[in-house]
Amino acid sequence: MLTDAIKLKVDRRDGKLAMAHFYVAFIALAIGGLAGLLQVLVRSGKFELPAGIGYYQILTVHGVVLGLVLTTFFIMGFQISAVSKTSGTLTNRQRVTGWIGFWVMTLGTVIAAVMILLNEASVLYTFYAPLQAHALYYIGLTLVVVGSWIDGAVIIMKYVEWRKKNPGKQSPLLTFMALVNTFMWIVATIGVAATVLLQLLPWSLGLVETVNVGVSRTLFWYFGHPLVYFWLLPAYMAWYAIIPKIIGGKIFSDSLARLSFILFLLFSIPVGIHHQLLEPGIDPAWKFIQVILTFLVIIPSLMTAFSLFATFESFGRSKGAKGLFGWIKKLPWGDARFVVPFIGMLAFIPAGAGGIVNASHQMNQVVHNTIWVTGHFHLTVATAVVLTFFGVAYWLIPHLTGRVLTKKMNKLAIIQGITWTVGMTFMSSAMHAAGLLGAPRRSAFSEYGGAAQAAEWIPYQIAQAVGGSILFIGIILMLYIFINLAFFAPKGEQEFPVGEAANPAEKAPMVFENWKLWIGITVLLILFAYTVPFIDLIQNAPPGSKGFKLW
């Protein structure tokens, strides 16, 4: 009987824990969105920041608050809800652990935010040494990561408990997926923890005088690339396991979904050097090896694309759709819970193609550090991922607060998705185009000494400002919907949709749950891809760098 009750609804107490994460996430959306608006306006050349606020200070806010805070808090809230729903209510011990994780992350966020506001940390969210921020900035970010580990421990504890209670059975799909993402996150964040704790913190405290810049960057990117998969996999959780239920269809294949997540675990991490292709100090052969490993994620990506569209087509045909594309008409185009993430899926097609360009051994040189790259990740994380998160919020927030998504809010949510699409089309396209002409990323408005080439970029920068302003309207709409769903929507039961496999008789091989095997292979791949580059960077290191505060 108890298990039936579990299946119906996430426990109120777990809901509160998840909601705490969502409050921080959406406050971050408001602050980070405003910072983004200010940036595109400054870069149009028509607007200057008041009161001596620096462009790069605002840029640091935007990156930290949206790239690290919004994403991490939303993901933790979503994964905890999904695990509580599919593997059962958290035990008191697990829930307390979750609250500790939440407060450690929040404390870290506040410390880092204060340092940014005091202009002690205008080093952007990538904090490349030897630019040296205040030690408290590094401590704040460390606490965010440590808090996310504690939150991750909740998911691991619940999974272990479930396996003990259900020997020989495969775990619920959403729990399995949240667990893979948690493992991937823990292995990846070891890199950033290492550079911060062993290098940057002692250096910013004055305990050591110099830092090895090459090692620090390589450790950062060891973390920096899997970071993007940490954002993406929760979106994939929704696409694989939740969207099928929303449209009224079935999960195309439970075991292939698990296989693709395992492949993401293996191939997300040993690839960070593709962000460092244009750097000295790393042998080009090792760069190429990591380029190959990078491209292996194309395989699970192709599997994902196939599964999703197979689900859509099977559903449409089961409703009597005819012809090659007749099934498209049968999809629920009036349901924001489907439409908004679906826009995200479509955005991922050009986003993935652009990513292939970026990671290509040679083509990277054309676009590296141009605003093309900014255009790229505004399609991946700021459209595909974020719109999916919004699509999840539309049903998850009212589910957790005991309210419902009304017809009016559903309509507004679709308008929100369309607003985002229009804004992002302007902004991202203009960024891609200007990047191909050479316009740099992460730069305030500049005429570059009156250079003719730089003058060509300005019309694109105005287009970015138009797109960015439309996106800001999208953010206001989203915040309005969030506040409605959290506090004002009518009381009721909003479904937590969990998809069922098209063929439930077909069980995934139990080897998928053999974590010693998968984490073992992950570690071996990492050792293979990174051992020699790190030995080179350490053995042939130049004299270290002192810290600089150039803002």
Partner 1 sequence: MHMHKFEKIWLTFGVAMLLVFLTVIGVSAFYLGNQPPSCLATIDPEKVDTTAPFNEPGLKKVEGKDWDYELVFVASAFSYSPGAVEVPLGAKVKVIATTKDVIHGFEVAGTNINMMLEPGYISEHIATFDKEGEYLILCNEYCGVGHHMMTSKIEVVK
Question: Least CB distance from residue 192 to partner 1, whole Å?
Answer: 17
Residue 131 within binding range of partner 1, rule CB under 8 A: yes
Tokens, residue 178: 């949240």
Please tell me whether residue 276 binds partner 1 under the rule CB under 8 A. Answer: yes
Q: How far apart are CA 480 and CA 484, in angstroms?
A: 6
Whether the CB-CB separation of 123 and 131 falls below 8 Å is answered with yes
Task: Candidates 13-21, 144-152, 490-498, 542-550: pick the segment binding partner 1 (CB under 8 A).
Answer: 542-550
Residue 534 contacts partner 1 per CB under 8 A: no
Nearer Cβ to partner 1 (206/449):
449
Stretch that binds partner 1, among 2-10, 320-328, 331-339, 538-546 (CB under 8 A): 538-546
Stretch in the footprint of partner 1 (CB under 8 A) among 45-53, 127-135, 415-423, 462-470 = 127-135
Our answer to whether residue 229 is catalytic in this structure is yes
CA distance 500 to 254: 8
Applying CB under 8 A, which of residues 47, 128, 333, 528 lies at the interface with partner 1? Answer: 128
Of 314, 301, 464, 293, whose CA–CA distance to 375 is shortest? Answer: 464
Residue of 71, 189, 253, 401 interacting with partner 1 (CB under 8 A): 253
CA–CA distance, 206 with 135 (Å, rounded to integer): 9
CB 266 within 8 A of CB 521: yes
Residue 472 known to be catalytic: no
Backbone phi, psi, residue 134, to 5°:
-65, 140
Q: Which residues of 162-190 are buried (b: 16+ CB within 10 A; e: fewer)?
A: bbeeeeeebbbbbbbbbbbbbbbbbbbbb
Candidate list 11, 114, 130, 500; residue touching partner 1; CB under 8 A: 130
> With contact defined as beta carbons under 8 Å apart, do 178 and 265 qualify?
no
Residue 437 in contact with partner 1, rule: CB under 8 A: yes
- First and final C-alpha spacing in the chain: 62
Stretch that binds partner 1, among 12-20, 173-181, 301-309, 521-529 (CB under 8 A): 301-309
Q: Are 179 and 159 in contact (CB under 8 A)?
A: yes
Choice between 445 and 515, CB closer to partner 1:
445
Nearest Cα neighbor of 260 from 308, 302, 309 is 302
The nearest distance, CB 39 to partner 1, in angstroms, is: 12
Question: What are the φ and ψ backbone dihedral angles of 344, each rounded to 5 degrees?
Answer: -60, -45
CB of 348 to partner 1, least distance (A): 15
- Please tell me the distance from the alpha carbon of residue 113 to that of residue 141, in angstroms, as a whole number: 10
The reply to whether 442 belongs to the active site is yes
In angstroms, what is the minimal distance from the CB of 508 to partner 1?
7
Residues 6+ apart with CB under 8 A from 361: 277, 287, 288, 291
- Judged by CB under 8 A, the chain residues 478 through 497 that form the site for partner 1 are none
In the list 17, 75, 121, 124, the residue contacting partner 1 (rule: CB under 8 A) is 124
Taking the least distance from each CB to partner 1, the nearer of 41 and 478 is 41
What is the rounded CA–CA span in Å between residue 285 and residue 507?
A: 41
Backbone CA torsion sign across 253, 511, 299, 263: positive
**Which CB atom, from 203 or from 395, has the smaller least distance to partner 1?**
203
Give yes or no: 21 in active site. Answer: no
Q: How far apart are CA 99 and CA 17, in angstroms?
A: 7
Which residues, 372 to 431, sit near partner 1 by CB under 8 A? Answer: none
Which residue in the list 134, 275, 399, 441 is annotated as catalytic? 441
- The correct pick among 50, 52, 280, 323 for binding partner 1 (CB under 8 A) is 280
45 is a site residue for partner 1 (CB under 8 A): no
Instruction: Give the CA angle between residues 282, 285, 286 to the nearest 5°.
Output: 55
Rule CB under 8 A: say whether 228 interacts with partner 1: no
Q: Cβ closer to partner 1: 168 or 490?
A: 168
Stretch that binds partner 1, among 21-29, 92-100, 248-256, 263-271 (CB under 8 A): 248-256
CB of 272 to partner 1, least distance (A): 15
Q: 516-525 long-range contacts, Cβ below 8 Å, gap at least 24?
A: 518/183, 518/262, 518/265, 518/266, 519/183, 519/187, 521/266, 522/183, 522/187, 522/265, 522/266, 522/269, 523/187, 525/266, 525/267, 525/269, 525/270, 525/293
Least distance from C-beta 77 to partner 1, angstroms?
31
Helix, strand, coil share of the chain (percent; to 5): 75, 0, 25
Determine if 92 is a binding residue for partner 1 (CB under 8 A). no
Footprint (CB under 8 A) of partner 1, residues 442-481: 442-446, 448-449, 451-454
Q: Which residues contact 75 (CB under 8 A, 6 or more apart)?
A: 181, 230, 231, 234
Record the tokens describing residue 169, joined without a space: 């059975």
433 binds partner 1 (CB under 8 A): no
Pattern 183-222, binding to partner 1, x per CB under 8 A? ------------------------------xx--x-----
Residues of span 133-192 touching partner 1 by CB under 8 A: none
Please tell me whether residue 244 binds partner 1 under the rule CB under 8 A. Answer: no
What's the DSSP call for residue 324? T
> Judged by CB under 8 A, which stretch of 264-272, 416-424, 475-483, 536-544 contacts partner 1?
536-544
Q: Does 9 bind partner 1 (CB under 8 A)?
A: no
* Per-residue binder mask for partner 1 (CB under 8 A), 93-122, x = binder: -----------------------------x
Q: Considering only 78-86, 358-366, 400-408, 416-424, which stretch makes contact with partner 1 by CB under 8 A?
A: 358-366
Q: Decide whether 45 or 202 has the Cβ nearer to partner 1.
A: 45
Q: Verify whether residue 62 is a known catalytic residue.
A: no
Picking from 43, 122, 126, the residue whose alpha carbon sits closest to that of residue 371 is 43
Of 21, 62, 134, 225, the catalytic one is 225
> Looking at beta carbons only, is 91 or 531 nearer to partner 1?
531
CB of 236 to partner 1, least distance (A): 17
Please identify every residue annotated as catalytic: 225, 229, 376-378, 441-442
